[in-house]
Amino acid sequence: MSIKKNHDGRVCIICGGGRYPRLVAQACSTKGIDFCLLFLKSGSTNSKRLLPNEFSNFDVPSLAIGFGEIAKALDFFHCNGVSEIIFAGDVERPNFHEISLDKKGLSWLLQLGTAIFSGDDALLKKLSDLLEAEGFKVRAGTDLLDDIFVPNEVLSKCHPSESDSADINLGLEAAAAIGNLDIGQAVVVADGLILGIECLEGTDALIERCAFLRKTETGGILVKASKPQQDYRLDLPTIGPKTIDILSRYRFSGVAVEAGKCIVIDKKTVIEQINSCSMFFCGCLTRINKISHE
């Protein structure tokens, strides 16, 4: 699905944390797509949060708002001719009991209903529905980016062993199970055991937690997959340099992700990191055959 250039109004990128929002903004700039930026203030110190000054080279309208300032956001969209919206980056789920709500925010909170207590997929889908009810089209940032998905192949110099392949298959099955329940997108597997599943704490915290659950001081595989009900405009499973740094620090064996449904941020850097610490990195379908070790 492509985003038309300059014909149907401006694109607004709702920016969360990580490098992904900047990649989307750069793609808009390169392709000559009119865009603006909306930043979400978490209300707490968060080193991952991208601040507007990190986008200072983009001469576009921008606004930072709190989670409950929905009327302010909608006014910003209308004043800047926004017709399409892209969610980009990870967002720390707010404490809905503590955020300050304007009148529109209160209306939205009531419409969100039980979705605020559900998984990320259900919550983001409901937020998208509310935005589309206001007349905006929610699009996927990946529509703008080339070579962003992980292919169905081994991308590293090291290949998974036969036992690694068995662990990857186990991890993919477990990821599908927790994804079906809208719990998370990642699991850690070692020696035929599921050491942990991703919940609200995120992938990086999962890795750190599982590093101390292994039988040995090294090994283990991070497996990430999309949820069976995944909305591909929202919250796609992602691998980036920071996650690889943490895997390397705790001496994991490698990472496997679902091919064609997981994005990699700064692929060249990620592969260099993987190779420098002799880990493997592969994209695979819902189940893989034995992969020869090289």
Concatenating the DSSP letter of every residue in 29-97 gives HHHT--EEEEEEE-SS--TTBPPGGGGTTS-S-EEEEETT-HHHHHHHHHHTTEEEEEEESB-PPP-TT
Query: What pLDDT was estimated at residue 152?
Result: 94
What is the pLDDT of the chain when averaged over all its residues? 86
Give 291's pLDDT tier (boundaries 50, 70, 90). Answer: very low
pLDDT in tens, 82-97: 999 999 987 776 666 6
pLDDT digits (tens, 9 = 90+) for 223-233: 999 888 777 78
pLDDT(5) > 80:
no
Quote the CA–CA distance of 180 and 200 in Å, as a whole number. 15
- pLDDT confidence of 118, banded at 50, 70, 90? low
Residue type, 215: K
Point out the least confidently predicted range of 44-58, 107-121, 257-271, 276-290: 44-58
Confidence of residue 288 (pLDDT cuts 50, 70, 90): low
Q: What is the pLDDT of residue 37?
A: 95
234/222: higher pLDDT? 222
- pLDDT score of 11: 96
pLDDT band for 8, please (50, 70, 90 cuts). Answer: low
The three-state secondary structure class of 169 is helix
Q: Which residue's entry shows tokens 């109004």? A: 9
C-alpha triplet 212, 264, 116: angle, nearest 5°: 70
In the prediction, which pLDDT does 124 show?
Answer: 82
All domains of the chain in start order, with CATH: 10-144 (3.40.50.20), 162-284 (3.40.140.80)
Residue 199's pLDDT band, with cuts at 50, 70 and 90, is confident
Between 70 and 115, where is the model more confident? Answer: 70
Quick: pLDDT tens for 245-283: 999 999 999 999 999 999 999 999 999 999 999 999 999
> What is the pLDDT averaged over residues 191-210?
92
Highest mean pLDDT pick, 50-54, 96-100, 126-130: 126-130
Is the pTM value of this prediction over 0.75? yes
pLDDT: which is higher, 67 or 292: 67
Q: Is the predicted pLDDT of residue 2 greater than 80, yes or no?
A: no
